[in-house]
Amino acid sequence: MSGRSPNAMKLQEVMLRRKMTGFRRNLQFTYNLKKGETLMSGKKILSMFCIVMLFAAFAGLEAFAQKTYEMRLATPLSKNGSVGKGLDKFAELVEEKSAGSIKTAVSYAGELGTQREQVEMLHDGALEVVTTLASGTARYVPQLGLFEFPYIYKDEAHLVRVLDALEDEVSRLLAPHNFIAIGGQNMGFRYMLNKQKPIYVVADLKGLKMRGPNPVYVGMFEALGATGTTTDWSEIYNALQTGVIDGMEASPDMIYSMKFHEVAKYLSKTNHIAACVYYMIRKDWFEGLPPELQEIVVSSAREAAAYQNALDIEVQEQSLQKMVDEGLQVNEVKDLNEFMTTLEGFKTSYVKEKGPEWEDLFSKITAVE
């Protein structure tokens, strides 16, 4: 039997219960505190994760914004001609609209080789844009030479309508060769320049060795009684100067921009062909651009082409007058219909002999009003 009194035992029991209650309360407080710290830690981790993800997203956007593409443009023509100025405008618009995402570099007047060599560079990936059509791409699709066929355009506006209408067709024909055609440009009706005599009638061409850029021109000269030959654009000045050729043909602005009138002084207004070009763009490069940059390239090409087409009509007249002021002798032919009639047989037989692909494209060109 215990020596403690009942009251003492009761007091001890009460004290024990109090200690147990305090212990439970401390335990609950500690648990709640730890739970709160855990929740706070979880919130901190989530916040840090969100911040990291935001930085990653911004870094990705910045990397996208800073990604740049190279667009190297070239023309065999002079920087001072309407096509050269149009090409400058194209490059300027692309850089401006892309906010520097596309960096451009432009070359002129055979700095990167002949027209044929420039088109080969475009095809092989060393350039992204070249101004060309019949004389440059006909080696891949020969019937494109029809765009520079004698006496098929009524005037400059008609030529531009044809180029716009046939843009998709030209791109379709050239797609297997890695080209896209955008922004057709008029280069003016062409006259005949030679160093021997004025040309008034078809018979005046007999015995002259005349340069043309492709087989269509060679065939035309031969049908008119001259001897046709091809010489690269960059070699014409020297060929005229040395007598390798007697003459050539081109628009007044093209002649003036290359100073050919310095070595041949007779210019006859035959209006035989209206030359033209597109911005020929490398297909795989274009398709590798983000959609928004593709749109910028297309809209810039069309805007630059419109600028060139408006400019060309002005500069043709200005260039002609400048050459007259410098001593060039200019004459009208006696009867333009004589030249047109003489070439009708050539045109019909040439297309027929070439076959159905030529006939198909010729019908599409001549169908445009």
Of the candidates 304, 250, 307, 301, the one whose C-alpha atom is nearest the C-alpha of residue 274 is 250
Per-residue pLDDT at 70: 98
Residues 318-345 pLDDT 10s: 999 999 999 999 999 999 999 999 999 9
Stated as kind and residue range, the H or E segment containing 186 is strand 179-189
pLDDT at position 30 is 42
- Alpha-carbon dihedral angle through residues 332, 337, 340, 342, given to the nearest 10 degrees: -110
Nearest CA among 322, 271, 318 for reference residue 85: 318
DSSP run (H or E) holding 181: strand 179-189
Strands 209-212 and 69-74: unpaired
pLDDT at 15: 41
For position 135, what pLDDT does the model report?
A: 79
pLDDT tens sequence across 83-127: 999 999 999 999 999 999 999 999 998 799 988 999 999 999 999
Blockwise average pLDDT, block size 10, the chain, 369 residues: 39 43 45 44 46 43 67 93 95 98 94 92 97 90 95 96 98 98 96 98 98 93 97 94 97 93 98 96 98 98 97 93 98 98 96 97 97
Q: For the purposes of burial, counting CB atoms within 10 Å of the CB of 208, is it exposed (0-12), middle (13-18) or buried (19 or more)?
A: buried
Quote the Cα angle for 133-87-134, to 5°: 5
- Distance in angstroms (rounded) separating the CA atoms of residues 62 and 152: 53
Task: Give percent helix, percent strand, percent coil of the chain, each to the nearest 5.
Answer: 60, 15, 25
Q: Specify the CATH number for 67-366; select among 1.10.10.10, 3.40.47.10, 3.40.190.170, 3.30.465.10.
A: 3.40.190.170
| String of DSSP letters for 66-108 | H--EEEEEE-SS-TTSHHHHHHHHHHHHHHHHTTTSEEEEEE-
